[in-house]
């Protein structure tokens, strides 16, 4: 394993119970793979399909986004001066349900990073697999915006 949970928490601004990447196993220039181990006791199972417990799809996508943020923070110089925020979900397909106790293998590939006047947009393809079977696939964008500019524009 390249990064464990404690190292991940130093890179992205997430803590339990909203950390959906437990380890990073491979890190390349434009690709990253990691995993999230689901516990049958995870909080969301208390209210998500009470009589049919499956992992909420939106949280699987969140895991892909968190994984991609690890890669993007490694790629962007001076990453601590930027916010990395969800920008656009272009498409998402759910092929198979994911159940309590399963391990989700997550993959993210940065397809491109595009400069705008005041921010960058990263286009990403994410996948979630269980036992090598594709369960979820999504294409989404992450905006990389300088914290000072963001605060000036949105926190008035």
Q: pLDDT (tens digit, 0 to 9) for every residue of the chain, 156 residues total?
A: 899 999 999 999 999 999 999 999 999 999 999 999 999 999 999 898 888 999 999 999 999 999 999 999 999 999 999 999 999 999 999 999 999 999 999 999 999 999 988 999 999 999 999 999 999 999 999 999 999 999 999 986
Global pTM? 0.96
pLDDT of residue 50: 83
Residue 155 domain-assigned (yes or no): no
Residue 36 domain-assigned (yes or no): yes
pLDDT of residue 57: 97
Residue 156 domain-assigned (yes or no): no
Residue 151 domain-assigned (yes or no): no
pLDDT of residue 156: 64
Residues 6+ apart with CB under 8 A from 90: 138, 139, 140, 141
Please check whether residue 52 is in contact with residue 59, taking contact to mean a CB–CB distance below 8 angstroms.
no
Q: What is the CATH number of the domain that holds 63?
A: 3.10.129.10
- Domain residues for the domain of 14 are 3-80+91-112+125-138
Indicate the number of domains in the chain: 1
Q: Is 100 helix (H, G, I), strand (E, B) or coil?
A: coil
Which residue in the list 48, 53, 96, 123 is annotated as catalytic?
48
Residue 86 domain-assigned (yes or no): no
Residue 97 domain-assigned (yes or no): yes
Is 48 a known active-site residue?
yes
């Amino acid at each position: 394993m390249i990064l464990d949970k404690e190292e991940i928490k130093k890179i992205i601004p997430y803590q339990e119970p909203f950390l959906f990447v437990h380890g990073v196993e491979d890190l390349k220039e434009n690709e990253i793979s990691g995993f999230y181990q689901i516990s049958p006791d995870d909080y969301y199972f208390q209210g998500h399909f009470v009589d049919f417990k499956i992992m909420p799809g939106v949280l699987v996508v969140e895991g892909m986004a968190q994984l991609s943020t690890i890669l993007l923070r490694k790629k962007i110089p001076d990453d601590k001066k930027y916010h990395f925020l969800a920008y656009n979900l272009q498409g998402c397909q759910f092929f198979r349900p994911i159940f309590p106790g399963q391990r989700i293998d997550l993959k993210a590939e940065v397809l491109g990073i595009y400069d705008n006047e005041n921010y960058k947009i990263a286009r990403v393809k994410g996948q979630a697999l269980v036992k090598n079977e594709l369960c979820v696939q999504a294409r989404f964008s992450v905006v990389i915006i300088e914290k000072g500019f963001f605060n000036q524009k949105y926190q008035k």
